Amino acid sequence: MIGRFLPLVALLLATPAPSPCSVVAARLASSMPGAARCDCMTPPSPREAQAQAAAVFIGVVDSISPARLPLHGRAETYEGRQVRFRIVAAWPSGRGPRRVAKGSLPPRGVADAAYRPAPQDSVLVVGTGLGGGDCGFAFHQGVTYLVYASGLPGALLTGICQRTRPEAEASSDVAALGQPGVDRRERRAPTIPPR
C-alpha cells in the first residue's frame, strides 16, 4: 500500500530545499490510508524557483513515453513518464552541473547525472509522474511549456508543484526570468494544450 505513494514522496523530496517539517508531513500524509492526492505548497516566485531548479527552459514536447523514474536517494524506481523536449530557450539555473549530457535519460528513464542545459544542446528529457497522488504534470505532444525541473541524483523531474506550465500561461514568469542564456525563439504564437 505504501509503495503506491512513493512517487509523491519522491517528487516532494526532489523539490529543492524542503523544510524538515514539510518532509515529515509529506511522509506521514503519504502513508495514511486513502491518501492519494497531491498537496502542493505555494510555489516560490519565478526567480526563487529558478535559483532552486536544476534546469529552467521553454521546450516543445516531441514525445512522451512510459519510464521508470528514480526514487530520491534510493536504488528503487517508480512508474512515470519521460518527456522529450526540443529546447526553444533556457535560463541559467541555481543547481546542478554547468553542463548537460546531450540527449536523453539512460535506458528505461533512469538517469545517471544531474542535468543543466548548455547552449549547444537542443533536447532534454524530463521525468514526471503519472498524475493524481504522484503530482505528475500532464504534458501534451506538440505543446510548448516553460519547465522548472528539479535535479535528483541522476535525473530531471518536474510536476504540478513546481512552476511548470504551458508557455501560453507563462508570460509573467518569462518576463520575471529576463533574457534567456539560450534563445531559439521565433516570433510565433504559443501553442495551447487541449483541455
CATH of the domain at 56: 2.40.50.120
Report how far apart, in Å, the C-alpha atoms of 14 and of each of 27, 57, 161 are: 13, 18, 11
- Residue 28 pLDDT exceeds 60: no
Summarize the confidence of residues 158-181 as an average pLDDT: 94
Classify residue 27: in a domain, yes or no.
yes
Classify residue 190: in a domain, yes or no.
no
| Rounded Cα distance, 7 and 3, in Å | 8
pLDDT classification of 118: cutoffs 50, 70, 90: low
Q: What average pLDDT does the structure give for the chain? A: 74
State pTM to two decimals. 0.68
| Rounded Cα distance, 108 and 69, in Å | 8
- Residue 150 pLDDT exceeds 70: yes
Task: State whether the Cα torsion 64-46-181-89 is positive or negative.
Answer: positive
pLDDT value of position 39:
85
- Residue 187 pLDDT exceeds 60: no
Classify residue 193: in a domain, yes or no.
no
| Rounded Cα distance, 39 and 34, in Å | 14
Q: How many structural domains comprise the chain?
A: 1
Phi-psi map region of 132: left, alpha, beta (phi>0 left; psi -120 to 50 alpha) = left
- The residue assigned the cell 535525473 is 155
Classify residue 191: in a domain, yes or no.
no
